[in-house]
């Protein structure tokens, strides 16, 4: 649980943005939306995994 | 508990959020959540040693242990509620944030009923005794 995850998310975000722009330029708009959606889903999986880790840590420490 | 590490993570998170906000706003919210999680985990780990020390003090003072775990639970709930409410406000829906805070207050109130009854028992014992 360190900073590498943050940089990974930033990388995925930027990559999706670039891919979407390229696809939009070559007028394949629907594929661009799919690419953005795919990037979003990957990042959401990462975040849900992190949140799960956080809630487990808090539960174990605060005896919730 | 090195505050420098915390500030470093926060600044890095802010930079990443600004970076993503210009090109893809939806990623910005996810980046804020991720930064929040990393910072909270650093905080919670450093908090656990303090809690162990408190445990020792409470055992010596002879107070019922359930009281201390109840207080700990309330702190934990406050911790998580504040975290999620601020995320909702960041993402732009402050109304959801206030709903979470209301929920947190109700849960804490429900839990504190135990402490209140405990207090009344102790007081009645002293007055009768």
Number of separate domains in chain B: 2
Domain enclosing residue A31, as ranges: 3-61
CA angle B75, B76, B78 (to 5 degrees): 65
Cα–Cα distance for residue pair B81/A58, rounded to 1 Å? 12
Pair B34, B78 in one domain: no
Radius of gyration of chain B (CA): 20
Cα–Cα distance for residue pair A27/A30, rounded to 1 Å? 9
Of B38, B41, B80, the CB nearest to A6: B38
ipTM: 0.85
- Residue-wise pLDDT tens for chain A (64 aa)? 578 889 999 999 999 999 999 999 999 889 999 999 999 999 999 999 999 999 998 888 887 7
Contact flag B76-A63 (C-beta cutoff 8 Å): yes
Domain enclosing residue B9, as ranges: 1-46
Pair B62, B11 in one domain: no
Pair B56, B25 in one domain: no
Full-model pTM: 0.81
Tokens coding B82: 């504040």
Pair B58, B120 in one domain: yes
A7 touches chain B (CB under 8 A): yes
């Amino acid at each position: 649980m360190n900073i590498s995850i943050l940089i990974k998310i930033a990388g995925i975000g930027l990559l999706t943005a670039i891919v979407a722009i390229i696809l939009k330029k070559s007028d394949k708009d629907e594929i661009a939306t799919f690419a953005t959606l795919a990037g979003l889903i990957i990042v959401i999986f990462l975040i849900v995994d992190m949140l799960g880790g956080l809630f487990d840590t808090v539960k174990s420490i605060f005896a919730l | 508990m090195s505050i420098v590490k915390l500030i470093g993570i926060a600044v890095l998170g802010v930079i990443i959020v600004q970076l993503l906000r210009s090109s893809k706003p939806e990623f910005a919210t996810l980046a804020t959540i991720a930064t929040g999680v990393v910072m909270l985990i650093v905080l919670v780990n450093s908090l656990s040693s303090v809690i162990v020390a408190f445990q020792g003090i409470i055992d010596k003072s002879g107070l019922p242990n359930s009281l201390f775990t109840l207080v700990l639970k309330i702190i934990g709930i406050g911790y998580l509620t504040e975290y999620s409410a601020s995320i909702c406000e960041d993402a732009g829906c402050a109304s959801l944030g206030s709903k979470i805070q209301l929920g947190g207050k109700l849960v804490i109130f429900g839990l504190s009923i135990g402490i209140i009854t405990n207090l009344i028992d102790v007081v009645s014992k002293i007055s009768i005794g």
